[in-house]
Each structure stands twice: as C-alpha cells, then as structure tokens.
C-alpha cells in the first residue's frame, strides 16, 4: 500500500470558531447553519489530498446541515467512502434532538474492508469507531471530559488494540486535560507510540495551549511526518500525518 496521508480533525460540526461564534449569545454558533463552513472544510480536504480523513464532531444530518449527513456530503463529491457513527451510543443523550445526529466519521479513498462501532462502558461519549483497511485498522474516538471515565475508555481502547491482528492507528480528540501522562499506561500496555514526538498543542485553534488531539501508531507503521496546520475552521487544530506501512521509526515532525 505504501505511503499514505492521514488526517485527524475535530471539525466542531462545521459550526466554526472565533468571537462571532458567541454572538448574539454564548454558543449561539452551535445552533446556526453549518453549510458554509462545511464547504470550506471540504475545500481544505481537497488541498491536503488525504487518503483517509478521520473526523470528530461530525453532524449526521441535523437541521444545521439541512438534514443531510455531513460525512456523506463531504465524501460524495470527492469519491470518498464515508463511515459515520453517532458518538453517544446507548446513552440517553443519543435520543435528544441535534445531539442524536452528532458523531464521528472516517472518509476514505481506500477501500474499506469492514467497519464496526464499539461502545465504551463509561462516559457520555461512548463511540469507538473502528474501520479496517487492507493493511491496517483505524480506531477513532472522542473521549470523555471526566478523568475517571477517560481512564476507563483508554483501557478499553488498549484491549481492543491487543485483539486486532493488523497494525493500528488510534486517534481523535482525547481530551487530555491532565496532560500527556494520561497516555503512559496506554502506550506501555499496547506498544503503540505517540506519532507527534513534539506533542504540540491543538486547542484552542487561534492560540493553542492544550494538547487534546492525538495520533498513536503501531511500530509497524512508519511515521514520516506529522504537521499541526494552523487553520481556524474549527476550535481545534488538525493533525496531518504521512505514514508508510511496514516501516519503523520516524521523526514525528517536519
């Protein structure tokens, strides 16, 4: 399969960011149409020419998107295959208006072998989206804000990694509010490594100070380059990673 370009990005449902997001009331932008920003995100994907885009906070078809799934909208005109999963799983939040349409998605230029949605045992956000390709597996999650629930979720991701018989890329919005040390038990248990050795902050996008978004990789996946592009289409910065399957090492930076 050779070299691949992978994107991990929390797109905030295409609702944008900046001070106008909170006008005329705090968080008012969450309730406005996200169609225009979705188009800008699509143009950004075109510029990056990614093979696999892993997106957190995707609108599955609320009124903000005119009832159309954001993942399918972004994928359709680009010849990509979308896989979408609501992020609340069996939680009661998953039955509420707007929230029932919120989830995570993988858009792929590569053929998808199979996809499944795993559910965490704890936390408000329960979805662990698993997408298998010919030579590797992607696990995508948006982890809990609660420290104890997040610890349980990381443990459950670790167990799933150990069950898989292919190299794995694990990424998403990990909400590491207590810093990188939260990842240490996970990395020790799985043998995966942190792709961004510089551990650059990703939030908030206009003046990043917290590292909430991560990409972790099996040793069989060579990390050729990791960038944190300074774009403000969302309140998070994306992680852009060039990898080669079957390699080892890599610098985790430009």
The Cα–Cα gap between 182 and 152 comes to 11
Over residues 89-141, the pLDDT tens digits come to 777 776 777 888 899 999 999 999 999 999 999 999 999 999 999 999 999 99
Average pLDDT, the chain: 94
Domains of the chain: 3-245 (3.60.10.10)
The Cα–Cα gap between 18 and 229 comes to 17
Over residues 192-224, the pLDDT tens digits come to 999 999 999 999 999 999 999 999 999 999 999
Greatest CA separation for the chain: 52
Phi, psi values for residue 37, rounded to 5° = -70, -35
Q: Edge to edge, what strands does the sheet with 213-217 contain?
A: 114-119, 127-132, 137-142, 168-173, 213-217, 193-194
| pLDDT at res. 77 | 86
Residue 39 predicted with pLDDT over 80? yes
Residues 58-82 as b/e (b if ≥16 CB within 10 A, e otherwise) read bbbbbebbeeebbbbbbbeeeebbb
Look-up: residue for tokens 């809990």?
A: 144
Here the tokens at position 32 are 């406005």
Residue 150 predicted with pLDDT over 60? yes
């Amino acid at each position: 399969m050779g070299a691949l370009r992978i994107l991990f990005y929390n797109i905030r449902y295409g609702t944008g960011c900046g001070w106008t997001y909170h006008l005329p009331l705090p968080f008012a932008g969450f309730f406005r149409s996200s169609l225009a920003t979705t188009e800008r995100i699509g143009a950004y994907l075109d510029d990056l020419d990614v093979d696999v885009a892993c997106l957190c906070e995707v609108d599955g078809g609320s009124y903000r998107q005119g009832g159309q799934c954001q993942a399918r909208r972004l994928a359709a005109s680009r010849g990509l295959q979308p896989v979408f999963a609501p992020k609340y799983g069996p939680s009661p939040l998953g039955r509420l208006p707007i929230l029932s349409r919120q989830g995570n998605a993988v858009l792929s230029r590569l053929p998808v072998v199979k996809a499944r949605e795993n559910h965490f045992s704890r936390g408000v956000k329960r979805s662990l989206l698993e997408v298998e390709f010919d030579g590797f597996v992607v696990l995508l999650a948006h982890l809990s804000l609660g420290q104890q629930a997040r610890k349980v979720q990381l443990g459950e991701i670790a167990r799933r990694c150990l069950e898989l018989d292919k190299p794995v890329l694990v990424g998403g919005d990990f909400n590491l509010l207590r810093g990188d040390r939260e990842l240490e038990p996970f990395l020790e248990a799985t043998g995966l490594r942190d792709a961004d050795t510089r551990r650059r902050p990703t939030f908030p996008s206009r003046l990043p100070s917290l590292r909430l978004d991560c990409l972790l990789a099996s040793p069989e996946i060579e990390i050729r380059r990791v960038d944190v592009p300074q774009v403000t289409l969302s309140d998070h910065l994306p992680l852009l990673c060039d990898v080669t399957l079957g390699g080892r090492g890599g610098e985790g930076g430009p």
